[in-house]
Amino acid sequence: MATSNRTRFDTIAIVGVGLIGGSIGLAVRQRQIARRVIGVGRRAASLGQARRRGAIDCGTTRLASGVADAELTIFCTPVHLIAEQAREAATHCPADAVLSDAGSTKRRIVERLDGAMPRGVRFVGAHPLAGSENRGVSEARADLFVGRVCVVTPTERTGAREAETVSGFWRSLGSRVLTMSPEAHDQALAHTSHLPHLAAAALAVALPEKYHEVVATGFRDTTRIAASDPELWTAIFIENAGPLLDALASYEGTLHKFRRALESRDARKLLQLWNQSCSKRQRLAGDDGRRRE
Amino acid sequence: MATSNRTRFDTIAIVGVGLIGGSIGLAVRQRQIARRVIGVGRRAASLGQARRRGAIDCGTTRLASGVADAELTIFCTPVHLIAEQAREAATHCPADAVLSDAGSTKRRIVERLDGAMPRGVRFVGAHPLAGSENRGVSEARADLFVGRVCVVTPTERTGAREAETVSGFWRSLGSRVLTMSPEAHDQALAHTSHLPHLAAAALAVALPEKYHEVVATGFRDTTRIAASDPELWTAIFIENAGPLLDALASYEGTLHKFRRALESRDARKLLQLWNQSCSKRQRLAGDDGRRRE
């Protein structure tokens, strides 16, 4: 990681100090990207835990005071809360401050905020492709974003300065930044993230209890993300329902091909589908989720 | 692992020395469960590799000579080949020898062999719930079966002696043995293994190429087993098509519940489904696929 990539800030605020927010805080402090990291949360106890873990310098339950000095505020809260919180923050943060987020959906959030901010404040959407089914600041890791993609979603109303503030910030945490429109992001992530979550959750729901004893590694891997936070994922599904329904239709169509081949005991067709599956899966980069660059 | 659990053999034959057969060989030799392990394979080169890895004492491409002295022969070949190979082996192995397998399906294999053997030779089906999308003896591990379930599927024609030979053998490798009928095994595994393979393969097939760049950990985990051996899994799907179609219907029904909730933007219903998914997934034992006993 080149030192020249580092963006220096005086104060950064993180709203929602869980797995993602906590990992951002740890990384910013470890890499000395800001002089001070303020955590904003609902519960004083969680903020105390985040402080003890070294993820923030200080914490507050009041958004207005938390963002008062922050040149950059990052919302790491559930996607259905981000737009409203950002609107409120915009009236309390410094003029010309940049607001961003780490939400898994982008179109509806950006639509509600783009160009709608007072006093030169700007919102630029972002989504780091990292995380896990684990939750809370106790699971946070300073290297969570290293080598991972972060999608940044400027629009035609976004200025070069704020786009670079957010992109540079993510590069300074070790991420590889991809720029996409909010709509393109949501369509892509419907296929690469939201659909696999739906498919995994449906597998877990459909499993009869009596078979738990003969569950092996394959089932566990395939359903790992079925243990993801229900409220978080309900919000993501609602925010991105349209593109997710399209991705689901494509998935159901593929399942139907398998069904037809099974019904007619068509080994040749099954082999063809399995060959496609195997070669497509093998073309994806390394199994640990980090791209080899 | 209690030493008293060990079953001692003079000669064991392993037909098909890949990941599973190679791991059996490594474990048997490391735990000194047999004086001699004979590998039977199609290619001399693979047998040489297995010998160099320490998975077998010697190898042959001829089934008849490989099983000639073996009190226990284990078929680790694709499921559609096992019955025919076992029938051939039965005419060459010692009288009263026990034949078994490690196949992922049981009903059709057992049906074809149960009570159909000459000279007191007996077949008892078995299925160790271990393995991975990796292949070949190079991936074999002596501890692959430690702490894992092995399902043994005797029938009313199976005698106590041969049932215990096979169950004791798997316990001596560190496995926990469950006894089920071949039919019950196939119904259970359709849900816990074959359906997740189908679901993962369909996700991989359905992923548009253009989205590869924004694939993250969730997709990778959920589709890890989509890189499984196409010929092996085509054979498993054909052998167990009936129960797999039932499991697929149940899965499609659950996907349909998600679809309806998404179409009506019904957050309450989605949250209920996600809560089910999360609590069911969390009730499964440890993430590494080994049961804490």
> CATH code at B206?
1.10.3660.10
B291 in any annotated domain: no
Tokens standing for A66? 């938390």
Whether residue B221 is contained in a domain is answered as yes
Which chain A positions have a beta carbon within 8 Å of B106's beta carbon? none
> Does B122 fall in a domain?
yes
Residues A84 and A118 in one domain: yes
Is the four-CA dihedral A217, B147, B34, B80 of positive or negative sign?
negative
B162 and B24 in a common domain: yes
Count of domains observed in chain A:
2
Residue B201 contacts residue B226 (beta carbons within 8 Å): yes
The residue of chain A nearest to residue B201, with distances taken between CA atoms, is: A277
What does residue B115 show for φ and ψ, rounded to 5 degrees? 70, 10
A104 has a chain B CB within 8 A of its CB: no
Q: Nearest CA to A173 among A10, A15, A17, A21?
A: A21
Q: Which of B239, B48, B43, B280 is nearest to B125 (CA)?
A: B239
- Please report whether residue A290 resides in a domain: no
Query: Are B146 and B191 in the same domain?
Result: no
Q: Which structural domain, as residue segments, surrounds residue B257?
A: 185-283
Last residue of a domain, one of A127, A145, A180: A180
Q: Do A199 and B222 touch (CB under 8 A)?
A: yes
Contact A51, A21 (CB under 8 A): no
- For the record, the structure tokens of B144 come out as 């692959």
Asked whether A37 and A28 are in contact (CB, 8 A), the reply is yes
User: Does B33 share its domain with B175?
Assistant: yes
Could you list the pLDDT tens digit for every one of the 293 residues in chain A? 334 445 589 999 999 999 999 999 999 999 999 999 999 999 999 999 999 999 999 999 999 999 999 999 999 999 999 999 999 999 999 999 999 999 999 999 999 999 889 999 999 999 999 876 678 899 999 999 999 999 999 999 999 999 999 999 999 999 999 999 999 999 999 999 999 999 999 999 999 999 999 998 889 999 999 999 999 999 999 999 999 999 999 999 999 999 999 999 999 999 999 999 999 999 885 544 443 32
Residue from A215, A236, A251 whose CB has the most chain B CBs within 10 Å, to mutate: A215
Looking at the structure, tell me whether residues A126 and A253 fall in a common domain.
no
Asked if the structure places residue A145 within a domain, the reply is: yes
Q: What angle do CA A228, A229, A234 make, to 5 degrees?
A: 105
Residues A158 and A27 both lie in one domain: yes
**Are residues B82 and B60 located together in one domain of the fold?**
yes
Cα separation, B6 vs B18, whole angstroms:
24
Picking from B180, B208, B224, the residue at the C-terminal end of a domain is B180
**Are the beta carbons of A198 and B275 separated by less than 8 Å?**
no
Q: How high is the ipTM of this complex?
A: 0.90
Could you tell me if A246 and B290 are in contact, meaning their C-beta atoms sit under 8 angstroms apart? Answer: no
Same domain, A176 and A189: no
Residue B190 sits in the same domain as residue B156: no
Q: Is residue A270 part of a domain?
A: yes
The answer to whether residues B109 and B242 belong to one domain is no
* Residues of chain B positioned with their CB less than 8 A from the CB of A284: 212, 215, 219-220, 223
Cα A23 from Cα B12, distance rounded (Å): 53
Same domain, B147 and B71: yes
Query: How does pLDDT run across A246-282, given as a tens digit for each residue?
Result: 999 999 999 999 999 999 999 999 999 999 999 999 9
| B271 contacts chain A (CB < 8 A) | yes
Indicate which CATH number applies to the domain containing B26. 3.40.50.720
Residues B168 and B108 grouped into a single domain? yes
C-alpha triplet B96, B102, B129: angle, nearest 5°: 135
Answer with the one of A180, A206, A232 that is the final residue of a domain. Answer: A180
- B31 and chain A in contact, CB less than 8 A: no
Q: Is A40 a member of any domain?
A: yes
Residue from A81, A151, A180, A192 whose CB has the most chain B CBs within 10 Å, to mutate: A192
Query: How far apart (Å, rounded) are the C-alpha atoms in residues B240 and A73?
Result: 55
Residue A54 within any structural domain of the chain: yes
- Residues from chain B that touch A225, judged by Cβ atoms under 8 A, are 218, 221-222
